[in-house]
Structure 1
Amino acid sequence: MIIASILDSAFISTFALSAVLFGSWFSFWYKSNLARTEKERAYVCTLLSSSVTSLCSIPLVYTLLTNGGDLADIAAYRTWTVIATTFFMTFLVVDLVIGVVFYRSKIDMLTGWIHHITYLLVLSWGIHNQLTAVFIMMCSLEVPTFILALGSVRSELRRDYVFAATFLTTRIIFHAYAIKCAWQYTAGFIKQQIRLAAKRKQDSVASNQAQRQRSKQQHIQPSIVSTATISSETTIKKTTISRNNKTTSASTYLSSPTPQFHQSPPVSVH
């Protein structure tokens, strides 16, 4: 099954189920008074989203690290990455909707509305172009977000050194490595397109030469036929003239007077 549009029934179903999950998750924290302050409520949905997407990124990160940095393997279509991407897109919408009601001061214009809406547009484009696997791989950058959210909803779980270590490992080191792989992939793609363009040009030149050769042969062939026709007509004319000459000679001979034969006197026999 290939999901290539946000209007696909699979996307809509996943979005609806994810929305129910996020709503239930937030309701549990809010009604059980586990998220007491506005800051804690602001990180409840982030905690769930970052934990799921970080886990989903592990197999793709492992693939990139073990295949020599070949991003082509990562870019291959995987349906489960579309579902995971839809889950994250649901979080973006739910975070804005719930945030307006329960933690309005934490939803500012830049990191809230602009950030989330931009992500929604980019990920919609990614689904259409079947590039969600690359996004899910880069969700490994959500690991420090998970550590931050965990420390925000429960201050006793805050670990600044863990956050710093995961931030350095994922958002700086791995991010730089992924950019390098992306550059190599892009450079290889460009070189491939150049080779294909050169091959198409060579094929076009060869095709044009073959076409000119065929046209030349077609031009020469009528000339040969014309020459043969003229030669044949000349032969026929010569044959006709020869026959006419023979007929004329025969007619002249037949119309000439009969020659007088010499009659010798009778011979007497003694």
Structure 2
Amino acid sequence: MRETSPIDLLRQALPGLPPRLQAAGRYVAQHDFDAATRSMRDLAAAAGAPPATFTRLAQALGYTGWEALREALIEARRGAGGAPYSARARRNPGGDLPAAMLAADAEALARLDPAPVAAAARALHEAPRIWIAGFRSCRGVAQLLHYQLRLFRPDSVRLIGGAGPEDLDLGALRPGDAAVLISFAPYSRAIVLAARAAREGGCTTIALADRPHAAMAEGAAHLLRFDAATSPGFFPSLTGALALAQALAAACFALGGEASLVRLRETEARLAAIAAYTPEQDLPS
């Protein structure tokens, strides 16, 4: 393992590189996450350079080729991002932490922009099928949105990876479908792959993300931003993501009008018929 990180090595080598390799090197240094997660061909297209330029750049830095440099970038990010939560815990303020967390969440909710939600809801309403992707800590947000949408669209909403391997769902994405992608930094490899599959599949993508330049939000038709970083707790806050997911489901329901209401009533009747809920009179006093 190299003692110097690949990005530091790159920065040190930049002055002595030819102009074309300098341009490619600066792009890698500024977009190290993309360099670690995208193919060389995709990265070259985004940088506006021939793919061979990145091979020559890697070799100029002492690597056998681009894949060797890419593996070093992945390893460097793994080391830097291996403790995203414990590092936050060391920065926690003293005093009344619960009160500080609730206050931070309230302020973050007040900053949410409702305008993009309406446009994204229309895209969901018009799509024949809706796919929802959220992994790791964002899985709960994805499951909530999936549940609420299925109450009035029971046959056209799917949770990616919910009933089998994720790759089978990603292979089923089709033009005209809508894909909702939920994540915050550090972004999981699974959500980046889902975003790429949605783009390549011709889906209308809706990203619930913490940053406009998030890798999983690239090319998204709609971006719903939430603040995950200002919570003083050890774990980034998902309150904004949950609020956006619920607002998105409610707005989609409203666009469906009477048809959505009919399907919701049918779902409720079915749940009642199978005794999904415990009658209040049966609860212990």
Measured against the shorter chain, the TM-score band is under 0.3
Query: What TM-score comes out, normalization by structure 2 length?
Result: 0.24
* Structure with the higher strand share, 1 or 2: 2
Query: What TM-score comes out, normalization by structure 1 length?
Result: 0.25
Which structure has the larger Rg? 1
Which structure is richer in relative contact order (CA contacts within 8 A, separation 6 or more)? Answer: 1
* Structure with the higher helix share, 1 or 2: 1
